[in-house]
Amino acid sequence: MGVEGGMKCVKYLLFFFNFIFWLCGLALIVLGVLVQVALHKTVVINNVSASSAPIVLIVVGVVVFFIAFFGCCGAWKESYCMVTMLKCCGVINATDWRGNFGSGTNSVPDSCCVNVTAGCGQGAMEDSSKVHQMGCQTVVEELLKKNIMWVIVAALVIAFLQIMGIIFACMLMRGIRSGYEVM
């Protein structure tokens, strides 16, 4: 059953913001690849220490990309599982929010709560019965490890499609050039 009234507005706002984050994740991935190519004239990583900045951009972009993708899908399909898939708080743990959120030093965003309600994160940072204590980095790493085969398949499919696009572009370029040579 679909949401009604004010929750419909929240649904569309959540989708909109997740879409913006998805685009930002995609932009970080593209920027990381462009920096890698600009610095080393190749996409291949030869020296890891010399490529740390582009690698960080790409990794952060991929993480943001997938989290925002699930957020978009969850908001659009009104899927409780997808919206709450990343049952985590902070990067390492809930204390990452110390002094950075809300009026109190022990406050976390409401999205960190086990049962999300308005104001549930106020002063509840270290209460494991109210707030998820595991960091999002750990949750995403476990999710990727558990689904590594699907990640590899998706990467191979995307690579295949990209290579096919390059081949078709080269074929079109060759056809255009041979058309000019005839004239």
Domain total for the chain? 3
In sequence order, the β-bridge partners of residue 131 are: 113
For residue 112, which of 142, 90, 95, 141 has the smallest C-alpha distance? 90
Q: Count Cα atoms within 13 angstroms, Cβ side, for 149.
A: 1
Q: 94 and 122: one domain?
A: yes
Q: Any idea what DSSP says for residue 45?
A: -
How do residues 1-52 score in pLDDT, each as one tens digit? 455 666 677 677 777 777 888 888 888 888 888 887 777 776 666 666 666 7
Q: How confident is the model at residue 85 (pLDDT cuts 50, 70, 90)?
A: low
Question: Quick check: 70 and 78 in contact, CB under 8 A?
Answer: no
110: tokens are: 């409401």
Higher pLDDT, 132 or 110: 132
Of 62, 85, 108, the domain-final residue: 85
Q: At what angle do helices 148-182 and 136-146 cross, to 10 degrees?
A: 80
Of 66, 85, 104, the domain-final residue: 85
Q: How confident is the model at residue 67 (pLDDT cuts 50, 70, 90)?
A: confident
Range of the domain at 116: 88-146
Question: Quick check: 33 and 58 in contact, CB under 8 A?
Answer: yes
pTM score: 0.44
Burial 17-44 (b: 16+ CB within 10 A, else e): ebbebbeebbebbeebeebbeeeeeeee
In this prediction, residue 111 carries a pLDDT of 75
Q: 58 and 95: one domain?
A: no
Q: 110 and 154: one domain?
A: no
| Helix ranges, the chain (H) | 6-40, 52-77, 80-83, 136-146, 148-182
Of 69, 85, 101, the domain-final residue: 85
| Helix ranges, 102-147 (H) | 136-146
